[in-house]
Chain A
Amino acid sequence: MSTEKQNLWPKDIVDTSDLVTPVSILKEQASLLGEQTQNLVEAKVETSSITNGQLMHVFYLVAPALDNYKYRLFTIYHGVELYPLDLVDPEEKIFFDPSDHTVIAQTSRPVKSQEELLERLRHIFSSPQTKKVINALIAQSR
């Protein structure tokens, strides 16, 4: 029997696409808020593991001058496969589900890809509710 090592791993086992983990995206965005608010309102991401191998990342707005008051803006949940992930949105929306003719309020909708996550974040960050919270914290911090 030959002693030469055989490599059974496929050459493309490492994903060389430019996929960034959701938490990296959140942290990058969090780091950008302080500059825009003269650090009166900052953002922070806290990660914890929950049941079923899922990770939970909570995106907070933080007001250092208010004894580090924290406002929970949204939460995402994902497993090892990253996508689809669940994003629990602050804006409660009412949807009609045609499959069983029910009306449901849904704050959690699956995000299928990195592009979709970026789009959802852009939507949350520019929503009137987010602006209202940030401006209230700035006013209270001054």
Chain B
Amino acid sequence: MLTFLFWNLNGNPLEKVIANLVSLHHVDILILAECKIPVRTMLETLNPVGKEAEFHFPFSITEKIFIYTRFSSDFLNAIDEDKRTTIRKLSLPARTEILLVATHLPSKLHRSENSQDSTSQELGRTIREVEGRTGLNKTLLVGDLNQNPFESGIVDARGLHAVATRAVATKNSRKVDGKEYPFFYNPMWRYFGDENDRPSGTYYYGGSEPKTYFWNIYDQVLLRPNLVPLFEQQELRILTGDGKQEFLKKGVPDKAISDHLPILFKLNI
């Protein structure tokens, strides 16, 4: 079983909070966006003096995503990257090999909806191309997608093609305009609303525009259908604290910590 944590840090120096979360949840793969913490500082915090170093920083050039692993860097090789996205081959000994895609897509503050759609389409094409090239189709995508699960860049077949239910996703793919597009399963849908006294999203924005969602789920994990049986449905969580402090203030993310809440999930590989 591997435990993943993704968090957009909003540029804040949260290394101690992250170390608390990593310890509390025994995180194996830590994925950070908007991270200004120097790699050396993060490694020193995750690997305290006097203890055997557990965490590593596999080679990467991507500027927007930082990944730390509780295992040797050799098992998470970057194979395709750009400024915003890293695509890694996760090949741990005697475990299922998967593609790990981590990304931070452009913010709505600076992009039109059309522009966001074309970025998602480019990411979708890239993932399909890498899957074809490597022969791997067990792909997990995680990141700050800066679009909600229902927005077109996430749902459109030419984009990420992520659907809300396992039943649909496990049809594997569908043909649109004569071309076959594989599905992603998006388990984040069930976090909308206010059931069970949990946060109703990962990012809150109460703007004055006529159309305002308030709670948004920009931080998402998507899985190709053949990874769904390995995904621990009940272990997917939006975290609201590290055991020492709360990440919410008056019911919404405390910007003094981060304007995004972290997501935690487990994969049984």
Contact = CB atoms under 8 A, between A and B. Distances in A.
Interface in A74-88: 75, 88
Contact of B61 (A51, A107, A136): A136
B110 A103 contact: yes
Contacts of A92: 83, 106, 110
Contacts of A132: 61
A132 B83 CA distance: 12
B80 interface: yes
Contact of A94 (B80, B82, B110, B125): B110
B61 A104 contact: no
A71 interface: yes
A72 B79 contact: no
Q: For this complex, into which size category does the number of interface residues on chain B fall?
A: 20 to 34
Contact of B83 (A46, A50, A90, A104): A90
Nearest to A61: B61
A107 to B, nearest CB: 8
A93 to B, nearest CB: 10
Contact of A50 (B79, B81, B110, B125): B125
A32 interface: no
A72 B122 CA distance: 11
B254 to A, nearest CB: 27
B115 A108 contact: yes
Given A48-B125, A105-B111, A70 B61 contact: no
B234 interface: no
Contacts, number: 54
B122 A88 contact: yes
Q: For this complex, into which size category does the number of interface residues on chain A fall?
A: 20 to 34
Contacts of B80: 69-72
Given A51-B158, A94-B110, A137-B61, A72 B125 contact: no
A72 B130 CA distance: 12
Interface in B167-211: 177
Contacts of A136: 61
B240 to A, nearest CB: 31
B69 interface: no
Contacts of B122: 75, 88
Interface of A: 46, 48, 50-51, 56, 66-73, 75, 88, 90, 92, 94, 103-105, 107-108, 129, 132-133, 136-137, 140
Given A67-B77, A71-B81, A72-B80, 15 more contacts: A46-B129, A48-B129, A50-B125, A56-B125, A67-B79, A68-B79, A69-B80, A69-B81, A70-B81, A72-B81, A75-B122, A88-B122, A92-B110, A105-B106, A105-B110
